[in-house]
Amino acid sequence: MDFGKAAFATLNFNYNAKTPHTLTVRVGEMVNDNGSVNRTPPKVSNIRYQELKVDVKPGKTQYQIQVQTDERNTRPNKAIPLPKGFPPLVPYRYAEIEGFQGELKAEDFTQLAFHTYWDEDASSFKSNNTILDQVWDLCKYSIKATTFNGLYVDGDRERIPYEADAYLNQLSHYTTDREFAMARRTIEYFMQHPTWPTEWQQHVPLLIYADYMYTGNTELVERYYDALKHKSLYELSNEDGLITSTKVDKAFMKKLGFPDGYKKPLTDIVDWPGKNFNRSKTKGERDGFVFKPYSTVINSFFYENMKIMAEFAKILGKTQEALDFEYRAIKAKKAVNEQMFDKKRGIYVDGIGTDHASLHANMMPLAFGLVPEEHYESVVNFVKSRGMACSVYGAQFLMDGLYNAGEEDYALDLLTDTSSRSWYNMIKIGSTITLEAWDNQYKNNLDWNHAWGAVPANVIPRGLWGIKPKTAGFGVATIKPQMSKLKKSSIEVPTVRGTIKANYTYNGKRLQTYEIEIPGNMVAEFSLNGSEGKEFIHNGKSVPSAFKVVRLTPGKHTIQLKINSF
């Protein structure tokens, strides 16, 4: 039986036994070429398969398989337990029944899938590119399927929340459903249960900022402001304004929420996994990054954190602290561009003390706005020269950086790529939930149910369509489409104030047409890259070329851009 999509589930079935006997039930995420359940998934991997015995007898017609539990993802005080009343679950798409007597019907079997409340109609995306549409469907479903535990967890192998996983999950959850509670509960969990990577601590301000911007709610800012200051790592900065995790001691780890006696210090991670991970012969996902005490990646995050903390201080009326954080942001940006930028090559090196330049050391400054305008071209060209030399996690910041730089053609190429380092590859090899890594060859212990692989679920709305909150709670939205070679596209993006709906058409008359519907109690600012000197027509009226932004009030709008060539 093929249930169409994998899910965290058990199996219910109806069966009318004439005599007592035993059925063999097999469930799994993979199938063989002949369609049978793959009983031997790749060694070391965490692709799931289980074989179960079910005793049946006359007089009983309804059964539920008893899924085998995994010690690693159910261990107390580590993994997040399933909500009370849930049966044990395993991710699977396929099932086999052996040893039955008489006839079986498909409708007698139910894949009993568990996930949070989900409004399938809250979001949508379509285009004229079938690969892009399939990638969107894969990634949207991945967010739904991985909400089974009540918090954002990292997949079935561990079922543990990690800050970076949660941030990617949060952005994609916000753009696929109007649901904010799970992200908030996960943030609350992190304040008591931090994890070891340096950058994962730096993701906590990003998590709370996303909650604030998408909901307008300041509750988490107010409650965690003091703890958040520690997680921004500002106390580790030197006189130039740069930070290093090498200054972390036990006292500081306690400030971050780690328990007494925790021995492992913060460790820079950059990306995951590293070279030769888990006794494999892979190059890893760090593009040869050279670790130094003062790292470009760490300090790119630090710059973003200082901007966020300055805004939070203003919200709370802490004027002096806001000024201090703003000053720290300015110093960090200056120091990164003076001490970590190779002027001769026009690119960022990995850190102070090395001339090696990785994708990560350049995409992070691009994603967080550290790159001066005069260096955009050289940094972007270098980023494009490296391809997808990062993991599915790193892809979030690569795509953010590309859309920030207006590199819509290359960004679309990556979204629709079909090589082994692509989202389409996950579909091609047979998964219906995003993978932990691009492919088994790049991480041999990967699982097939990792939401941090679902980056396009937020990149398509936030990057390709450019729909983001400009002010907290979407009082003002920005819509800045970057359609590249697409001829048609439609989207629905849920917000706390209602759904933003939009359609795009490029026709043979060299005309771009955008039809946009703004919900009540919201205004939006519409703009396009490269529109200078070209004619905007808004609801039938020409917009002066001096105006680069069209303000949209609640209701329906038609915007046309006349162009000379595509």
Please check the confidence at residue 533 and state whether its pLDDT lies above 90: no
Cross-strand bridge partners of residue 10: 112
The side-by-side arrangement of strands in the sheet containing 535-538 is 124-127, 488-495, 498-507, 511-518, 555-562, 535-538, 541-543
Query: Which has the closest alpha carbon to 357: 382, 390, 321?
Result: 382
pLDDT digits (tens, 9 = 90+) for 47-68: 999 999 999 999 999 999 999 9
Could you give the number of structural domains in the chain?
A: 3
With tokens 């097999």, the residue in question is 26
Mean pLDDT of 74-87: 93
Domain termination site, one of 395, 410, 430: 395
Say which CATH number the domain at 55 has.
Answer: 2.60.120
pLDDT at 538: 94
pLDDT at 427: 98
Please indicate, yes or no, if residue 83 is contained in any of the structural domains: yes
Asked whether residue 237 falls in the same domain as residue 349, the answer is yes
Please check the confidence at residue 382 and state whether its pLDDT lies above 60: yes
Quick check: 245 and 198 in contact, CB under 8 A? yes
Please indicate, yes or no, if residue 35 is contained in any of the structural domains: yes
Please check the confidence at residue 266 and state whether its pLDDT lies above 80: yes
Asked whether residue 211 falls in the same domain as residue 306, the answer is yes
Domain termination site, one of 60, 93, 113: 113
pLDDT digits (tens, 9 = 90+) for 487-530: 999 999 999 999 999 999 998 767 899 999 999 999 999 999 98
Asked whether residue 349 falls in the same domain as residue 241, the answer is yes
**Domain extent at residue 50:** 2-113
Asked whether residue 341 falls in the same domain as residue 224, the answer is yes
pLDDT at 562: 80
Please indicate, yes or no, if residue 46 is contained in any of the structural domains: yes
pLDDT digits (tens, 9 = 90+) for 322-343: 999 999 999 999 999 999 999 9
Please indicate, yes or no, if residue 414 is contained in any of the structural domains: no
Asked whether residue 480 falls in the same domain as residue 375, the answer is no
pLDDT at 509: 64
pLDDT at 510: 75
Please indicate, yes or no, if residue 96 is contained in any of the structural domains: yes
With tokens 């973003």, the residue in question is 304
Q: Is the pTM of this model over 0.95?
A: yes
Please check the confidence at residue 92 and state whether its pLDDT lies above 50: yes
pLDDT digits (tens, 9 = 90+) for 443-496: 999 999 999 999 999 999 999 999 999 999 999 999 999 999 999 999 999 999
Say which CATH number the domain at 544 has.
Answer: 2.60.420.10
Mean pLDDT of 214-241: 98
pLDDT at 511: 87
Asked whether residue 207 falls in the same domain as residue 349, the answer is yes
Asked whether residue 280 falls in the same domain as residue 380, the answer is yes
Asked whether residue 349 falls in the same domain as residue 482, the answer is no
pLDDT at 77: 84
pLDDT at 488: 98
522 is written with which tokens?
A: 């919201």
Please indicate, yes or no, if residue 146 is contained in any of the structural domains: no
Asked whether residue 214 falls in the same domain as residue 355, the answer is yes
Say which CATH number the domain at 391 has.
Answer: 1.50.10.10
Asked whether residue 272 falls in the same domain as residue 376, the answer is yes
Burial class (CB in 10 A: 0-12, 13-18, 19+), 533: exposed
511-518 and 555-562 as β-strands: parallel, antiparallel, unpaired?
A: antiparallel
Choice among 261-270, 345-354, 383-392 with the minimum mean pLDDT? 261-270
C-alpha R_g of the chain: 25
Mean pLDDT of 172-193: 98
Asked whether residue 352 falls in the same domain as residue 239, the answer is yes
Please check the confidence at residue 564 and state whether its pLDDT lies above 80: no
Mean predicted lDDT score pLDDT of the chain: 96
Asked whether residue 276 falls in the same domain as residue 371, the answer is yes
Please indicate, yes or no, if residue 158 is contained in any of the structural domains: no
d(CA 37, CA 555): 51
pLDDT at 535: 83
Q: Would you call the peptide bond into 273 cis, given omega within 30 degrees of 0 as the criterion? A: yes
Query: Which has the closest alpha carbon to 165: 451, 540, 563?
Result: 451
Please indicate, yes or no, if residue 157 is contained in any of the structural domains: no
Domain termination site, one of 395, 419, 449: 395
pLDDT digits (tens, 9 = 90+) for 283-323: 999 999 999 999 999 999 999 999 999 999 999 999 999 99
Q: How confident is the model at residue 566 (pLDDT cuts 50, 70, 90)?
A: very low
pLDDT at 23: 97
d(CA 95, CA 92): 8
Mean pLDDT of 344-369: 98
